[in-house]
Amino acid sequence: LPKVAIIGRPNVGKSALFNRLVGGNRAIVVDEPGVTRDRLYGRSYWGNQEFMVIDTGGVITLSKSQAGVMEELAVTTTVGMDGIPLATREAAIARMPSMIEKQAVAAVEEAAVILFIVDGQAEWYENIFQAGLVAADIEISDWLRRNYADKFAPLPISAITGTGTGELLDLVCSELTKFEGLDGFEEEKSDVPAIAIVGRPNVGKSSILNALVGEDRTIVSPVSGTTRDAIDTEFTTADGQKYKLIDTAGIRRRAAVAAAGSTTESLSVKRAFRAIRRSDVVALVIEALSCITEQDYKIAERIEKEGKACVIVVNKWDTIPNKNHQSTTFYEQDVREKLRILDWAPIVYCSATNGTSLEKIISAAALVEKERSRRLGTSILNQVVREAIAFKPPPRTRGGKRGRVYYTTQAAVGPPTFVFFVNDAKLFPETYRRYMEKKLRTDAGYPGTPIRLLWRSRR
């Protein structure tokens, strides 16, 4: 589901808006170690568009020292109104510790649309009473502008009475439509799995695509606007299964013509990121003879983070001389070592020029796509967890306390997400969480897809 993130400084009404948008659909609470507050996820609908709303809640919190700076800032700004140059105020803002915490960043990173909330009422008094807090708004808006959005569409709403929320939802949905490319005929093929073909320039993405779909490819959605920079092609396998291939390669050439070869590495990584976001499965193409680079790693990291299924495609396998079982094993170890973050992804060795093993890319993609949306029965799940705990119980704290798992449930698919209801999530250290994930994988499978384990304290 596409995601809509609600962000803003404390007390502007983020939670009220979240509740209005999701009603009783509050679904998953994401808890990551080392993060001060959870982010809340809830499903919402408007018309026939479904999306996930993320509340960053009290994410942007003020520590004591920050609160101190805020007071100071309020004073400086008030004085500023009496004639002190703006520069003083800006300097004060620059000194202010960043209030944009990890959770907000994570929420914004995964969102298709960002709702940046400010307090309309406060604006009324801003120059008199709330100058410091308005500076917080500015800090957030500057950060958004720098990193994510070049234009804001302002809209007055009341989360409590609902005034303006219809217009807000219209706007959100029209943005989501752009983002997803859901124009007109998109509807009927929404259940066609999308495979993004990504990788560094020249690894053979276009060659693979051409070999797979041939010359008579039907372009599903040509490039348009600024949000779309890949070409989608529909593709039917011999056994009649349909896929959408998201191709980031063809574009490079066009862009290269336009920008006279100035396409930078970071640009191609960003393009890969956007293709990953729209996909269900990512075929990460690397080249047999060359090393795995920082760029490959960045893409791999993003695949994991976005919870997409993945197949690692080692192309140009024909260029490796005297292949035998041993050299393949050796090669595989190297790839595993360098792309450890994708240690669950299958590897396919192929040659686009010779046409060898290309069909394996599709069969592997089909398999991992199914795994990504597989539900594990509750009884099997709890049995796996019980056995894992019996084999290795959570560590005891110095005070003699020990974590207890009451029960486990699969809250979501795409990627499979398991919620562990426990006595106290803090009693489950990172190492133990990793152990449990490993155990789930060995006992319940899930090749080719990331899985998520969430630990919820319940008293």
CA dihedral 334, 338, 340, 341 (to 10 degrees): -150
Q: Is 352 among the residues that bind ligand GDP (CB under 6 A)?
A: yes
Considering only residues 108 through 147, tell me which ones interact with ligand GDP, judged by CB under 6 A.
none
Q: Classify residue 453 as exposed, middle or buried by CB count within 10 Å of its CB (0-12, 13-18, 19+).
A: middle
Does the protein bind ligand GDP through residue 204 (CB under 6 A)?
yes
CA 155, 159, 160 angle in degrees (round to 5)? Answer: 140
Cα–Cα dist 385/142, whole Å:
45
Residues between 46 and 65 that touch ligand GDP (CB under 6 A): none
Least CB distance from residue 264 to ligand GDP, whole Å? Answer: 15
**Under the criterion CB under 6 A, does residue 357 sit at the interface with ligand GDP?**
no
Among 206, 221, 417, 449, binds ligand GDP (CB under 6 A): 206
What six digits make up the tokens of 407? 């029960």
Q: Does 353 bind ligand GDP (CB under 6 A)?
A: yes
Q: Least CB distance from residue 199 to ligand GDP, whole Å?
A: 6
Which residue's CB comes closest to ligand GDP? 204
Least distance to ligand GDP from the beta carbon of 298, Å? 16
Cα–Cα separations (whole angstroms), residue 104 to 7, 153, 258: 7, 20, 36
Question: Is residue 415 reached through a cis peptide bond, with omega within 30 degrees of 0 on the bond before it?
Answer: yes
Report the nearest approach of ligand GDP to the CB of residue 317 (Å): 7
Q: How far apart are CA 206 and CA 202, in angstroms?
A: 9
Supply the angle between the helices 265-278 and 249-258 in degrees, to the nearest 10. Answer: 140
Please give the residues from 297 up to 316 whose contact with ligand GDP meets the rule CB under 6 A.
315-316
d(CA 306, CA 133): 33
Q: Which residue has the tokens 């080392």?
A: 34
User: For residues 20 and 205, which CB has a smaller minimum distance to ligand GDP in the complex?
Assistant: 205
As beta bridge partners, residue 315 has 287
Stretch that binds ligand GDP, among 21-29, 30-38, 153-161, 349-357 (CB under 6 A): 349-357
Query: In the complex with ligand GDP, which residue's Cβ is closer, 173 or 249?
Result: 249
Q: Which of residues 231-250 bind ligand GDP (CB under 6 A)?
A: 249
Q: How are strands ordered across the β-sheet holding 218-221? A: 218-221, 231-236, 242-247, 194-199, 281-287, 309-315, 347-349
Of the ranges 18-26, 65-73, 351-359, 365-373, which one interacts with ligand GDP (CB under 6 A)?
Answer: 351-359
Neighbours of 104 (CB within 10 A): 23
- Does 318 bind ligand GDP (CB under 6 A)? Our answer is yes
271 binds ligand GDP (CB under 6 A): no
Instruction: Count the site residues for ligand GDP by CB under 6 A.
Output: 16
The distance of closest approach from Cβ of residue 240 to ligand GDP in the complex, given in angstroms and rounded to an integer, is: 27
Question: Which window, 90-98, 304-312, 322-330, 347-355, contacts ligand GDP (CB under 6 A)?
Answer: 347-355
Residue 171 or 213 having the CB closest to ligand GDP: 213
Q: Which of 201, 307, 414, 429 binds ligand GDP (CB under 6 A)?
A: 201
Q: Quick check: helix, strand or coil at residue 99? A: coil
Task: Rule CB under 6 A: say whether 319 interacts with ligand GDP.
Answer: yes
Residue 207 touching ligand GDP (CB under 6 A): yes
Interaction pattern, residues 399-428, with ligand GDP; x per rule: CB under 6 A: ------------------------------
Candidate residues 108, 131, 203, 309; the one interacting with ligand GDP per rule CB under 6 A: 203
CA contacts within 13 A on the Cβ side of 352: 21
Q: What angle do CA 455, 30, 447 make, to 5 degrees?
A: 75
Which residues of the chain form contacts with ligand GDP (CB under 6 A)? 199, 201-207, 249, 315-316, 318-319, 351-353
